[in-house]
Amino acid sequence: MAFFEQHIHDAPTTFLSKYVISFDHKVIGKQFLWYGILFLGIGGMMALMIRWTLAFPGEPFPVVGHFLFPNTNGVVPPDTYAMLFTLHGTIMIFYAITPILIGAFGNFCIPLMIGARDMVFPTLNMLSFWLAVLSAVILLVSLFTPLGGAAGGWVSYPTLSTLIGSPGIGQTLWCLAIFVLGVSSTMGAINYIATIITLRAPGMGYFDMPLTVWGLWLTAVLNALFLPVLGAGVLLLIFDRVFGTTFFLAGAAATTGSGDPVLFQHVFWIFGHPEVYILILPAWGIVSDLLAFFSRKPAFGARATALSMTSITVLSTVVYGHHMYTTQMSPLLTQSFMMLTMTISIPSAIFFANWLGTLWKGSIRFQTPMLFSLGVVFVFGLGGLTGLYLATVSTDLYLHDTYFVVGHFHYTMAASVLLGGFAATYFWFPKMFGRMLNETLGKIHFWISMVGLNGVFMGMMIVGYAGMHRRIYNPFVYEFLQKLIPLNMFITYSAIFMGFGQLFFVANFVYSIWKGPKATQNPWEVGTLEWTIPSPAPHYNFDVIPVVKCGPHEMGNPNLNGRDFQYQTEELA
Amino acid sequence: MTNLATKNLSENEKGEEIVSSIGMIVALVSFAMLFATLMMGFAMFRFTAPVWPPAGMVKPSLVLPGLSTFFIFLSSISFIWFEKNIANKKGLIFTIILGLAFMFTQSLLWHQLKSVGVLTSSGIYPSIIYTFTWIHAAHIVVALGFLVWLLVVVLKETNTKALLRASSVGKFWHFLGIVWFIMFLTIFVL
């Protein structure tokens, strides 16, 4: 027996071994999906509270306000506001997007798409999920500690995050939660890297892998390299807070010796910049695949797309300084970082052009996953272009820490990734649960989300350009910002509209799991390996390990008879 | 002789070997990034300080850190000896004993520092000494757990699976030795 065939164990029978302590990559993927969607809801509610405060300062938050904030008659208090934006960022990045894109679709898609029966380290996989749960519990517990949860921003810069800035235990628990989550994600990354290197089906070279797998693999590499950097940072912060070390304390804050608060910023962004690519790379891969599948054409320049994603991965490690132009960095350094950052636009432009090339003259099917993928093309284009203003030192000095930054990174990290995640959910739902999601509800969900999020994030960029700073409880105490009240109200209404649209998704998702129409083996008519097996994917995926004979997007070939796609297991027509 | 280099492996066992080395190497790269970040922070403090150690501190004597270095060096050597033939468990037992001796000298070091009034809160240099040795020692404790587990494995059987486990645990143990040596040089000697 060759190694890639993997032993087949009996299917688990008890509830505990089947759904809770499962070693099966498909079940772990679904667990991560539920986990991510739960936190997406929590983070989204927090976003609505932030938006409410900014549009209607001093007015009680509707419906649940009186229950949540009884001391202030339902108005979000300033300290809670700081906690809300801190935890909104933390939860969305580490507990919603990471589990959905990397945890859920990484686990579910990698073995299926490369023709493997499971991950190489199933136990590590199981531990990775349960450590993520432990981390989530720590984070949620921190909300109920005497002084509340962390409130120093999701970046937790000292001195705000030291004992002087946040004396409560909430910040310590935040650091601990992030550390545990880092361990969990690193475990996942080790698993993904080893699986993709060793378990590709016979005949599948690296360029025969679907681009989804490319994206996930590059993400795993960045995760394994840079999460430990953040781990070291929060570990030192924990030591500063618990054992009285002085790494990040300086000036009057330090009783003896002297640390350096800016050191944390360096450490944070050495991790933090790769992190934004950790979040976006899986979405890029998924979109590159889906655009080809629904245009019924081979992906234009698939090899170039894969290579430009790789070069972005490499470049992403050397540009972190553009987050710190205002920390009195030497001009020589800021200019170097500016140039390196601008360099990223070359590979980005290459794969973006490839996306457009894929769409060009395709016979496009506007099904829900395709709509979401096209949405990603639009919002990522906008997000990428506005990034140029922030990479340039001269414009960044003005725009730094304004809502322009918030709008920009929400376009790239939130809107693109969220739409990419939804595209993936609509696309792989049949293979996950064996049923189809409702197309009409999906399309309503798409249009509401698309209009809503553009209203929110475009509005944010405008108010930011007008000078409104982020993280201020009530910006309208400043006279020059009072004219922005109507625009802020528009943003908030857009956010509420978008939040309302998600109800369609939740209803559709929950209903379709049990009551949706049964999915056929290959509902989207595409040729990658996961569609050669029944829906939902059976225990241990493949009866016989497939032999790969062509690339993942061989579609619309005139030599094909009767259908316009071919499976990866078939000789190229 | 039972060792990985001379043994004829089946297709499946070769796969197992590749997977476990890839897994362990990626894990070690992650650990290396953790320690590299700590070292980067240390370098920043070190090179921006006008005098080192700062604030009138003196470096601790080299006796205890030197002993630690000696023990961990010997433990790596004895592990290499064990890997040559894992049927002979003496090498592994020596490694465990030397690892415990390393932990003992480390705790003596902490005790000695504390007794002369050098605490974690006494400034950046003690912060670095305590934190870095703690983080390293935490890894050593985990690695000692792995070594004991490995001893249980090889007492039961010395097949290819045990060889692969020995090779993985060995990589981790040698890695921690190297990290300690770098810390010894940069924090205590230079």
Nearest to A228 among B33, B119, B131 (CB): B33
CATH of residue A327's domain is 1.20.210.10
Does the pLDDT of residue A314 top 90, yes or no? Answer: yes
Residue A556 lies in a domain: no
pLDDT at A125: 94
Q: Which residues of B touch A1 (CB under 8 A)?
A: 11-12
pLDDT value at residue B130: 94
DSSP assignment of A337-392: HHHHHHHTHHHHHHHHHHHHHHHTT------HHHHHHHHHHHHHHHHHHHHHHHHS
Query: Does A550 map to a domain?
Result: no
A225's CB contacts (< 8 A; 6+ apart) are A274, A317, B29, B30, B33
Look at chain A and report how many structural domains it folds into. 1
Give a yes or no: residue B1 inside a domain.
no
User: Is residue A95 scored above 70 in pLDDT?
Assistant: yes
- CB distance A244–B124 less than 8 Å? no
The shortest CB-CB distance from A244 to any of B23, B35, B120 is to B120
Please indicate if any CB of chain A lies within 8 Å of the CB of B11.
Answer: yes
**Nearest CA distance, B87 vs chain A (angstrom):** 26
Please report the pLDDT score of residue B5 as a whole number. 67
Is B45 near chain A, with CB under 8 Å? Answer: yes
Residues B45, A4: C-beta atoms closer than 8 Å: no
pLDDT at A252: 62
Phi first, then psi, for residue A402 (nearest 5°) are -100, 175
Residue B19 forms contact with A (CB below 8 Å): yes
Q: Which of A4, A246, A266 comes nearest B124 by C-beta?
A: A246
Q: Which residues of A touch B123 (CB under 8 A)?
A: 246, 256-258
What integer is the mean pLDDT of A82-88?
Answer: 94
Above 80 in pLDDT, residue A3? no
Nearest-by-CA chain B residue for A120: B19
Instruction: Please indicate if any CB of chain A lies within 8 Å of the CB of B21.
Output: no
* Contact (CB<8Å) B38/A236: yes
User: In percent, how much of chain A has pLDDT > 90?
Assistant: 82
- For residue A266, the chain B residues in CB contact (below 8 A) are 40, 44
Is the per-residue pLDDT at B167 higher than 80?
Answer: yes
How far are the Cα atoms of A234, A293, B66, B109 from residue B53, in angstroms, in the given order?
25, 62, 19, 18
Total count of domains within chain B: 1
Q: Does the beta-carbon distance from B22 to A2 stay under 8 Å?
A: no
pLDDT at residue A58 tops 90? no
Q: Is residue A4 part of a domain?
A: no
The DSSP annotation for A390-422 comes to: HHSHHHHHHHTTBHHHHHHHIIIIIIIHHHHHH
Tell me which chain A residue has its CA closest to the CA of residue B40: A267
**Residues 125-154 (A) with a CB less than 8 A from some CB of B:** none
pTM: 0.94
For residue A253, the model assigns a pLDDT of 59
Q: Which of A120, A225, A259 sits opposite B19 (nearest CB)?
A: A120
CB of A526 closer than 8 Å to CB of A549: no
* A224 interfacial to chain B (CB closer than 8 Å): yes
Is B5 inside a domain boundary?
no
Q: What is the mean pLDDT of residues B170-174?
A: 95
Count of CB contacts below 8 A, A vs B?
Answer: 124
Given a cut of 60, is residue B11 above it in pLDDT? Answer: yes
Secondary structure tally for chain B: helices H, strands E: 5, 0
Query: How would you class B84 by CB atoms within 10 Å of its CB: exposed for 0-12, middle for 13-18, buried for 19 or more?
Result: middle
Chain B contact present for A255, CB below 8 A: yes
State residue A347's pLDDT score: 95
Question: Within a domain: residue A567?
Answer: no
Assess whether pLDDT exceeds 90 at residue A281. Answer: yes
Using an 8 Å CB-CB cutoff, list chain A residues near B15: 2-4, 198
> What is the per-residue pLDDT across A527-541, written as a single tens digit (0 to 9) for each?
999 999 998 999 888
Is B45 within a domain? yes
**Which tokens hold the place of A10?**
């009996």
pLDDT digits (tens, 9 = 90+) for B42-76: 999 888 888 888 877 888 889 999 999 999 999 99
B111-123 confidence digits (pLDDT tens) = 999 998 888 888 8
In this predicted structure, the answer to whether residue B1 has a pLDDT above a threshold of 60 is: no
Q: Which residue of B has its CA nearest to A237?
A: B131
Query: What pLDDT is recorded for position A396?
Result: 93
Confidence of residue A566 (pLDDT cuts 50, 70, 90): very high
The answer, yes or no, to whether residue B3 has pLDDT greater than 80, is no
**Is 80 exceeded by the pLDDT of residue A299?**
yes
Q: What is the dihedral of CA A523, A526, A527, A533, to 10 degrees?
A: -20
ipTM score of the complex? Answer: 0.94
* Residue A165: per-residue pLDDT: 85
With contacts defined as CB-CB under 8 Å, which chain B residues touch A236? 38, 41, 131
CATH number where B22 lies: 1.20.120.80
Q: Identify all chain B residues contacting A218, using CB atoms and an 8 Å cutoff.
A: none
Q: With 90 as the cut, is the pLDDT of residue A229 above it? A: yes
Burial (0-12, 13-18, 19+ Cβ within 10 Å), B77: middle
Picking from A4, A236, A268 by the largest number of B CB atoms within 10 A of its own CB, the best residue to mutate is: A236
Give the range of the structural domain holding residue B67, as residue numbers without chain letter.
11-189
Q: Is residue B3 part of a domain?
A: no
Interface of A with B in 258-317 (CB under 8 A): 258-260, 263, 266-267, 270
Taking the Cβ of residue A228 and every Cβ of chain B, the question of whether any pair is shorter than 8 Å is answered with: yes
How close B127 gets to chain A, by Cα (Å)?
5
What residue in A sits closest to B27 (Cα-Cα)?
A: A190
Selected residue of B37, B129, B130, B183 to mutate for chain A interface (largest A Cβ count, 10 A): B37
Specify whether the CB–CB gap between B177 and B70 falls below 8 A: no
State whether A3 and B14 contact (CB < 8 Å).
Answer: yes
Report the run of H or E that residue A528 belongs to, with start and end. Answer: none
What are the beta bridge partners of residue A555?
Answer: A565
- In this structure, is residue A558 part of a structural domain? no
Shortest Cα–Cα distance, A297 to chain B (Å): 36
Measured between beta carbons, the chain A residues lying within 8 angstroms of B11 are: 1-3
User: Which of 182-201 (A) contact B at CB < 8 A?
Assistant: 186, 189-191, 193-194, 197-198
The rounded Cα B107 to chain-centroid distance in angstroms is: 15
In terms of Cα–Cα distance, which of A305, A213, A298 is closest to A550? Answer: A298
CB within 8 Å: B29 and A224? yes
Mean pLDDT score across all residues of chain A: 92
Tens-place pLDDT, residues A365-404: 999 999 999 999 999 999 999 999 999 999 999 999 999 9
Range of the structural domain that residue A394 is part of: 17-532
Look at B34 and A229 and tell me if their CB atoms are within 8 Å. yes
Q: Under an 8 A CB cutoff, do A229 and B130 touch?
A: no
Q: Is B6 part of a structural domain of the chain?
A: no
Is B67 a member of any domain?
A: yes
Q: Is B66 on the interface with A (CB under 8 A)?
A: no
Question: Model confidence at A1, in pLDDT bands (50, 70, 90)?
Answer: low
pLDDT at B157: 84
B145 interfaces chain A, CB cutoff of 8 Å: no
- Looking at the domain assignment, is residue A285 inside a domain? yes
Chain A residues with CB-CB distance to B22 below 8 A:
193-194, 197-198
Q: What is the DSSP string of A66-90?
A: HHH-GGGTTPPPHHHHHHHHHHHHH
In a domain, A3, yes or no: no
User: Does residue B56 belong to any structural domain of this protein?
Assistant: yes
Of the candidates B30, B41, B121, the beta carbon closest to that of A244 is on B121
What is residue A98's predicted lDDT score, i.e. its pLDDT? 93
Interhelix angle A211-242/A261-295, rounded to 10 degrees, is: 160
Which pLDDT score is estimated for B2? 64
Q: In the block, which residue shows the tokens 């080395």?
A: B21
Q: Residue A267 falls within a domain, yes or no?
A: yes
